[in-house]
Structure 1
Amino acid sequence: MNFYAFSALLNAAAATTLGIFVYSRDPRNPKHLAYGLYCLSLSVWSYFYFAWQITESKELALLFVRLLMAGAIMIPVFYLSHTLTLLDRIDTHRRLLQAGYVFGGVFLFLDCTPYFVADLRTEAGFQHWPKPGIAFHFYLVWFTIYVVYATYLCIHSYQTARGIRRNQYLYLAIGSVIGYLGGFTNFPLWYGIPIPPNGTVLISLYTAIVAYAMVRYRLFDFTVVMQKGLAYLLLTFFIAAPSFVILLAIQQAYFGEASYQFSTIMLALFVLAISAAYRLRTRAQAVVDRTLFRHRQHMYETLSAFPNALVTNLDLKSLTNTIVRTLADVIGIASASLYLLDKEHDAYLLSASRGLGSNGMPAVRLSARDGVPACLARAQTILVREELEQAPAQDPSRSLADILAAMDSDVCIPFVNKDRLVGFCNLGPRKDRRMYAEEDLRLLSTLGQNAAIALDNAMLYEDLRRSQALMRRTDRLRSLEIIAGGFAHEIRNPLTSIKTFIQLAPERKDDEEFMGTFSAVVAEDVQRIERLIQEILDYARYMEPRFAEEDLNDIIGSCLYFIEVKADSKEIAIEKDLAADLPQVLVDRQQLKQVLLNLFLNAMDAMEEAGGRLTVKTHRLTKPTGDAWVQIEITDTGGGIPADSVDHIFDPFYTTKHESGERAGTGLGLTIVHEIVQEHHGTIEVDSTVGVGTTFVVTLPVDPVSRGSSQGHRAHETTDPLGR
């Protein structure tokens, strides 16, 4: 094998390996496709260049020359296409590419005729060097124009680009110049100019430089696949080079001469056999696992995919039950138990279990300082009872083995997140009595890491829900002070009529008209008081949202009743402009009252010093989608909110009432308002002008339940704790 054959083989191996890896990564990606086609043209040219260099037959040499030129004909148009896709300029050069494909097709047709390659001749030591036909001259001009223009685009893009793009285009330009300067050394001998094609090997540098740019500067949108491609290319080279030398030496030793053609073919078959064996081994392993070890393979596949399902579950009880149930079913164990950290008591409580009878029930509370939790927190690795039992009698590990035995645990998996033991899971003996293999333990360890993250997130979400519930209830109870004033005023008249009836009843018990009329009035007043008491109890008692069809105007009127006494005392006039054509709205009555009371009381606080006017309006809206909405406008004539505070009024603990003596602000009222409106799939907006007043606009869908289900529960879970 001469130098030129070797360089062609090196070019072919590089182009084939990198082209296959790039294209197979994402066949639909235009950049990957263009690079794959370019590597295909280089591969065709290089393989038949190699075959041409090692053949001695003129007929075969002419055939190989025509075939290698078929690859060379497509190099310029594929190179231009590859360059344009990398530079994202394919749309502006579409006509040039189309012309290139047309020229390429014409030259491919002529390549089969003497018009392209007229004949072969001896030239500069080459026995079969091609003689150009008339069409070859036009091809060379076209080749030069397309390659030079594509290289110019690379250099120009490098000069105008910035950042990482600049580095990408730099390597692309350098690779293009080096590769094609080497490639052009093949043309002088066609015209009898004694310059040998020593630069052919430089074409491999182009693919190598582009590959480096892919890995180093993300020329394509992947790295791992290119790392593997380069690794396989180097591995192939380091196997092929010494193997080729050994083949030649063996032939020389046994047969007295060495055949380069035979050695090359044997080496190619050897490399192909190694590649095929690797792929076949992987597939054979998969077939064996699915056929002979079906249950084990199913277990690995299920447990490997299980972490993806864990991270989407924020319900702590459901999550713990899912973990225990899945492990018990998939691994085939008789019993399992899961303990979670109780941060308040620094202990681990039994959260979920499977297959534990009343006699074998383990302790439901373990202190964090007890043997098993302390060991898991310190070692952060799986405990295997059988291994602990092998320890000497004096070793503390033996006591851990006894504890695990009492808990009916063969394996204990720690759930560690951020160096904190959030829980652990005990797995009992397998039903088939098989021991846990090393691969099983590695898989369970990985599962434990993912489960720890999921459990920690679920625990934080549970704490958040409790905090929000407490925050809402506190806000409701704080508002009861105002409601109580309105309640006292509201029941004063009914109590007066009841008191009068009780005082007069003994004297006029024989007056049937008096007793009948007054009894009806008293009964109606008692019912009125009962309704008011029930309204207050419902408001103060925290409840999960209960959506029901309600009259929005009626809810507004009920809330205004409670604040009328305070409004009168502060010389605040209340104006209502409630639309009569409002549809029934699906809302949680008590939550909406909480929203309205917060906004009403805030408005009155803003007008506390000088009095003013509180205006409440309702409107009916129809969105462009055809959905029915309702809108509530609450306007006050207070001092307004400063512009730099408007963007923060819904933030938790942000308040502008620090100087209010009667109702000091905590900064939670509007946060709760915002959250409740979000839960109703509505919006709340504020428009305020200092010295003029503030308007809050609450917009609610008529049917938030159907709107929420259409958006999906997942969208609700991705909001922040405030629902924003």
Structure 2
Amino acid sequence: DYVVRKAVSFSLATSAVLIPGGMALFALCQEVGSEGPVIVACAAVGLALLSVVLIPTLQEALETRVHRAFFPQLYDYRRRLQELPAALVHLVDRSQLVRRLGESLAAILDVETCEIFLPDENGRRLALAYPSPGVPEPLAEAIARDLEQLAEPVLASEVEALSPAVASLFHARGWEVGIPLRVNDRQNGFVGLGQKKDFRIFSGEDLQLLSAVAGGATVALENASLSRQLRRSEAVLERANRLSSLGMLAAGLAHEIRNPLVAVKTFLDLLPQRLNDAQFLSEFRELSLSELRRVTDLIADLLTLGKSRTASDRWSSTHTGSPTCRRCRRIRTSSSRSC
């Protein structure tokens, strides 16, 4: 398809330039005759220069149309390969990204196998990430080191000269093409593609497109890694905020519980001296029950707030003016002041 596309587009571009130009030059010769050879020569030179400029430009413009007309299926899959990197960079979830990359390559290229190896959780060894294995399948360290030497997509027929171990891996897994995923001269993954189902070979243009796909996939994987680190940082920050809020709440609770207990303790200290004072005993009883009820209500409120988030939200939406909410706000206010 490459030879036909180039030949047909060149023929069409040449015809589009030289036929009208030749006819115009012939008409000029007929017009001036033998009296203007210099004019004819200048016109011929101008036509030659114009052909040098216009033919490559027209050929490039016609090549896509010829490709689409003569080889629509090849044109379609190459167009989809060109669009794939732009689609990948918008995915920030690693599992979704890897699945999209594997499924897209397998569907577009119509290959028998498509396997993607990415660094494991520790970032030390390459392990199979697509298709998702039941048990992780890390590559041997020696093979992983040899794969790091690959900088561009490589055919299975070219690997033997680079590394016999990698060639054995290609043969064992049925790979026809290997695509390294690299960022900042560091290997970030590896993609192995099997033979095409229609038995067509991978051309040089295919390898160039796959190199562009590898670049887009590498950027997308880096974005996914940064996004995951950001989510982890946000989770740590949220946990720290919760612990801080818990500390403030604990300080407020200690203050709210201590005050009633101090009042009860004071009356208990005075009780031996005023056992015969009926008024004191009556006030002591009422105050003690009131303060203990206050502590009991506070504990009940805490148990209510300790339920599920949904229940807590539903409760707060229907009891925003209840004594419990007012008491909780008072606890937060007092704890903030104490801090």
Question: What range describes the TM-score normalised by the shorter chain of this pair?
Answer: 0.5 to 0.7
Unaligned runs of 5+ in 2: 1-24, 261-294
Deviation at 1:537, TM superposition (A): 6.4
| C-alpha contact (below 8 Å) 1:483/1:563 kept by paired residues | yes
| C-alpha contact (below 8 Å) 2:102/2:116 kept by paired residues | yes
Task: Indicate how the Cα distance of structure 1 residues 465 and 297 shifts in structure 2: closer, same or farther if over 3 A, else same.
Answer: same
1:346 matches 2:112 = no
1:440 matches 2:206 = yes
- 2:70 corresponds, among 286, 292, 295, to 292
Task: Indicate how the Cα distance of structure 1 residues 387 and 378 shifts in structure 2: closer, same or farther if over 3 A, else same.
Answer: closer
- 1:560 corresponds, among 321, 329, 333, to 329
Distance 1:548 1:444 in 2: 57
Task: Indicate how the Cα distance of structure 1 residues 477 and 446 shifts in structure 2: closer, same or farther if over 3 A, else same.
Answer: same
Task: Indicate how the Cα distance of structure 1 residues 535 and 345 shifts in structure 2: closer, same or farther if over 3 A, else same.
Answer: farther
In terms of Rg, which structure is larger?
A: 1
Distance 1:343 1:482 in 2: 36
Deviation at 1:259, TM superposition (A): 1.6
- 1:460 corresponds, among 226, 229, 232, to 226
Which residue pairs with 1:267 in the alignment? 45
1:311 matches 2:89 = yes
Indicate the SS of the match to 1:296: helix
Q: Report 1:476-625 matches (<5 A).
A: 476-487=242-253, 529=299, 532-533=302-303, 535-536=305-306, 550=317, 557=326, 559-563=328-332, 567=335, 601=336, 604-605=338-339
The one-letter amino acid of 1:369's match is E
- Superposition TM-score, scaled by structure 2 size: 0.65
| C-alpha contact (below 8 Å) 1:334/1:428 kept by paired residues | yes
Q: Deviations over 1:644-690 (max 9, x none)?
A: xxxxxxxxxxxxxxxxxxxxxxxxxxxxxxxxxxxxxxxxxxxxxxx
Task: Indicate how the Cα distance of structure 1 residues 535 and 423 shifts in structure 2: closer, same or farther if over 3 A, else same.
Answer: farther
| C-alpha contact (below 8 Å) 1:346/1:368 kept by paired residues | no
1:320 matches 2:90 = no
Indicate the SS of the match to 1:325: helix
Q: Report 1:666-705 matches (<5 A).
A: none
Task: Indicate how the Cα distance of structure 1 residues 443 and 309 shifts in structure 2: closer, same or farther if over 3 A, else same.
Answer: same
| C-alpha contact (below 8 Å) 1:382/1:414 kept by paired residues | yes
The one-letter amino acid of 1:385's match is A
- Superposition TM-score, scaled by structure 1 size: 0.33
Deviation at 1:462, TM superposition (A): 0.5
Distance 2:50 2:84 in 1: 38
Task: Indicate how the Cα distance of structure 1 residues 388 and 481 shifts in structure 2: closer, same or farther if over 3 A, else same.
Answer: same
Tell me the matched-pair count: 270
Deviation at 1:551, TM superposition (A): 7.4
Distance 2:327 2:171 in 1: 64
Unaligned runs of 5+ in 1: 1-246, 355-360, 494-524, 568-600, 606-724
Task: Indicate how the Cα distance of structure 1 residues 419 and 269 shifts in structure 2: closer, same or farther if over 3 A, else same.
Answer: closer
The share of aligned pairs that are identical, in percent, is 27
Indicate the SS of the match to 1:366: coil
Indicate the SS of the match to 2:127: strand
RMSD, aligned α-carbons: 4.0
Deviation at 1:466, TM superposition (A): 1.2
Which residue pairs with 1:32 in the alignment? none
Which structure has more strand as a fraction of its residues? 1
Q: Deviations over 1:439-462 (max 9, x none)?
A: 111211122122112211211110
Distance 2:237 2:129 in 1: 26
| C-alpha contact (below 8 Å) 2:116/2:128 kept by paired residues | yes
Distance 2:80 2:255 in 1: 66
Indicate the SS of the match to 2:163: helix
Q: Deviations over 1:471-525 (max 9, x none)?
A: 21133124323323545677899xxxxxxxxxxxxxxxxxxxxxxxxxxxxxxx9
Indicate the SS of the match to 1:379: coil
Which structure has more helix as a fraction of its residues? 2
Q: Deviations over 1:9-30 (max 9, x none)?
A: xxxxxxxxxxxxxxxxxxxxxx
- 1:376 corresponds, among 111, 132, 147, to 147
Distance 2:62 2:142 in 1: 48
Q: Deviations over 1:232-291 (max 9, x none)?
A: xxxxxxxxxxxxxxx9xxx9xxx9986222223333344444444334322432222102
1:451 matches 2:217 = yes
* Larger RCO, structures 1/2 (Cα 8 Å, 6+ apart): 2
